[in-house]
Structure 1
Amino acid sequence: MSTALHRELIAAFTARSRNHPYLAFTLNSLCNLDCVFCKPRCMPDYGHKDRPLTVSDYAAIAAEAGVWQIKKAHCSGGEPTLRADILDVIGGLADGLGPGAAIGMTSHGNLRRGLSVEKLSGVGLTYLNLSLHSLDPARSAEIMGGGDPRITMHTLETALALGLRVKINCVLQRTYLDDAFAVAELARSLPVAVRLIELQNIGPAQALFDAEFISEAEVRARLHEWFANAGEVRRDELGVRSPGQYLRPDGWAGSIGFISNSSCATCSDANRIKITPTGVARPCILHNRDIPLKPHLADGTLDDAFAHLFQAMLDRNANGAWQGYHYVDYDLRWDRMERPEGAPVLPLLPLLATDTPGPSVCARASTEER
């Protein structure tokens, strides 16, 4: 690939006012919990029988990404901390992207024996997204199939003490709505960003959706007193690069945002390069421009792969399959889900007929930052 093309593709993101891409790695599909809306062990390829990327692979991908001025990598799963080599993976990403990079991870926070937030921070982790759906141990276990929110809270407090940015992911369900509000209220006294996430009518959540879905609009109405005098928090202050809005209620230490992929999904400035455990890079879920990275790792041609990814992301603006809808991570977690060429992976969802936020709410909804 020519140096001129490299410069041209990087410059195009600024010229088109698009956020620069970042890397979103799914490190595994394994999880030692079993959330009701996820149920990973129900998936036919649970455990990834294919050979996953190695520590040296992650380091090489990050090093090439650094050449492309990418300064952020996020790791999720499954539960990424179940990887025995997670410290080496985080360290390789941090070294590859270089000084000042943001290296993050999504976890349920019940870290396995021998792993600690201190160790993760020591190798380069700069922020942590914690899945927390109830503060009550019994109700949390109903939702997550195990784990202990008190341990998650200890992980959260340790991360804050170490200077890591912390975000909390909480999925909204009608049965557990008061639990979600209690989680959101953690932002009253803690400098965290709580993201209230709409249930999506996909995968295992399809069995729950009709009874449990509650829209952002309805939740905003119930929390109107919190938001009445709330101020907007700058995304760069939170380490967030997506177009969503985060609000800080008057006098609170933290903020609340929404991820509303069911009622008003939009990927107008989606900027993740998604990479599966076995190294398939996906610049867009609905635009089938996937590219396997393992051959490029073997041939030393990662620069060509990144040129493809950058061009594919720019091409999303004219993607006929896009139409403003976005399915977060569904086909990313499950590495061998069939991806027919030239056709959307999933049927496009119409906006819900009821409880649909108005344009002002939808325009602010965050769909990319996880």
Structure 2
Amino acid sequence: MLATGHQDLIAAFTATGRNHPYLALTLNSLCNLDCVFCKPSCMPDYGHKERPLTAANYAAIAAEAGAWNVKKAHCSGGEPTLRADILDVITALADGLGTGASIGMTSHGNLRRGLSVEQFHQAGLTYLNVSLHSLEPTRSAVIMGGGDPRKTRATIDEALARGLKVKINCVLQRTYLEDALGVAELARHLPVAVRLIELQNIGPAQAMFDTEFIPEAEVRTRLDDWFADAGEVTREELGVRSPGRYLQPTGWAGSIGFISNSSCATCSDANRIKITPSGIARPCILHNRDIPLKTHLADGTLSDAFEHLFRAMLERNGNEAWQGFHYVDYDLRWDRMERPEGAPVLPLLPMVTTGTGSPSCARRPSDGEEQ
């Protein structure tokens, strides 16, 4: 039972009309593939110097989140299915958030031996985001540094057969634009939401950004025939809170949306409680204060941490340093940012722009991270 002050804080957040916060959990940094725009194993801190949170930790966090009316948790990595305890983590989140919770995961879909979609479904998974950038095995292997898109397709088919909602994440690259459009066309016959994601000028992608970046506006011109009579699918219908509009071409089973983090990303509706693998909560990656949850887990004071998280999001629009929008979304897979605990990163960070767009875009605002 939450204290009266905490209930008032939830009511104040609800009164803003914004989406209720949800848990965005980065479970690990490890991945057995090596996408050209990601290349996790190239990072000097690949793997974690500190011990990651355990399934019991996630159970405690989810139970506290559930008391704050949080009803969604999304797991990503790295490749979260590489965790030996991944099924225990999913179960812990589902049990902690309770009946009716939405539990999701992002994966490349090449499940390791011994894992199946059925197991994830039984553990409590309700939706699956699958990374797929080409349907052609050789070209897919070049983009993703391995893996097999046919296995990914089998994972998608099994997930749909078991009643899971499925979203497909496809990063746009100029060299592989036709591959991305081929992935998008899966929505013609499958009830999936394909999200075409702009390349971001961060991390390993910086080396290829100038030649490979292609903006949403340019891609849309290639899809005029698809979108001519398309109807818009609400984010509520899709069960997503990510940025962009989702359009369903006439006669298609699924929809297509754009995640345009580079040409247009805004943050005023951001509602993710971002938690790194080692348990650092970040209500805002750029400006708000870090909260080491392990201390609160040990002291039994998670309620205090959630009070700070809700208050930080509630006060975000009044934070002058926020400026209402940004053009990059920092990577949460590693705890690589040197940030003092309990203090703002900087009083003001300059806006990072790509020269490809402006903040006045015709989309609902969000903080631009995949979900």
On whether the aligned pair clears a TM of 0.5, the verdict is: yes
Contact 2:289-2:345 within 8 A present in 1 as well: no
> Does 1:342 pair with 2:369?
no
**Partner residue of 2:116?**
116
**Partner residue of 2:69?**
69
Contact 2:267-2:365 within 8 A present in 1 as well: no
Counterparts of residues 67-216 of structure 1 (less than 5 Å): 67-216=67-216
Contact 2:321-2:349 within 8 A present in 1 as well: no
Deviates more, 1:260-269 or 1:146-155: 260-269
3-state SS, counterpart of residue 257 of structure 1: strand
C-alpha distance 69-364 of structure 1, shift in aligned 2 (>3 A): closer
C-alpha distance 74-326 of structure 1, shift in aligned 2 (>3 A): farther
Q: Matched residues in 1 for 2:319 and 2:351: separation?
A: 13
3-state SS, counterpart of residue 252 of structure 1: coil
Equivalent pairs, count: 367
Q: Tell me how far 1:321 sits from its aligned partner.
A: 2.6
Q: Tell me how far 1:250 sits from its aligned partner.
A: 0.9
Equivalent residue letter for 1:327: V
C-alpha distance 44-240 of structure 1, shift in aligned 2 (>3 A): same
3-state SS, counterpart of residue 251 of structure 1: coil
Q: Matched residues in 2 for 1:147 and 1:205: separation?
A: 20
Q: Matched residues in 1 for 2:320 and 2:310: separation?
A: 18
Deviates more, 1:299-308 or 1:342-351: 342-351
Contact 1:132-1:149 within 8 A present in 2 as well: yes
3-state SS, counterpart of residue 113 of structure 1: coil
3-state SS, counterpart of residue 362 of structure 2: helix
C-alpha distance 197-84 of structure 1, shift in aligned 2 (>3 A): same
Q: Matched residues in 1 for 2:311 and 2:265: separation?
A: 23
Q: Matched residues in 2 for 1:2 and 1:55: separation?
A: 24
Contact 1:286-1:326 within 8 A present in 2 as well: no
Q: Tell me how far 1:57 sits from its aligned partner.
A: 0.2
Stretches of structure 2 lacking an aligned partner (at least 5 in a row): none
Q: Tell me how far 1:176 sits from its aligned partner.
A: 0.1
Q: Matched residues in 2 for 1:366 and 1:337: separation?
A: 18
CA deviations on 1:104-137 (whole Å, 9 max, x unpaired) are 0000000000000000000100000000000000
Contact 1:285-1:326 within 8 A present in 2 as well: no
Q: Tell me how far 1:187 sits from its aligned partner.
A: 0.3
Counterparts of residues 326-341 of structure 1 (less than 5 Å): 326-328=327-329, 330-339=330-339, 341=343
Equivalent residue letter for 1:322: W
State the TM-score, normalizing by the size of structure 2: 0.95
3-state SS, counterpart of residue 175 of structure 1: coil
CA deviations on 1:122-177 (whole Å, 9 max, x unpaired) are 01000000000000000000100000000000000000000000000000000000
Equivalent residue letter for 2:170: C
Q: CA RMSD in A?
A: 1.8
3-state SS, counterpart of residue 273 of structure 1: strand
3-state SS, counterpart of residue 140 of structure 1: helix
Q: Tell me how far 1:218 sits from its aligned partner.
A: 0.5
Equivalent residue letter for 2:7: R
State the TM-score, normalizing by the size of structure 1: 0.95
Stretches of structure 1 lacking an aligned partner (at least 5 in a row): none
Q: Tell me how far 1:368 sits from its aligned partner.
A: 4.0
Contact 2:196-2:256 within 8 A present in 1 as well: yes
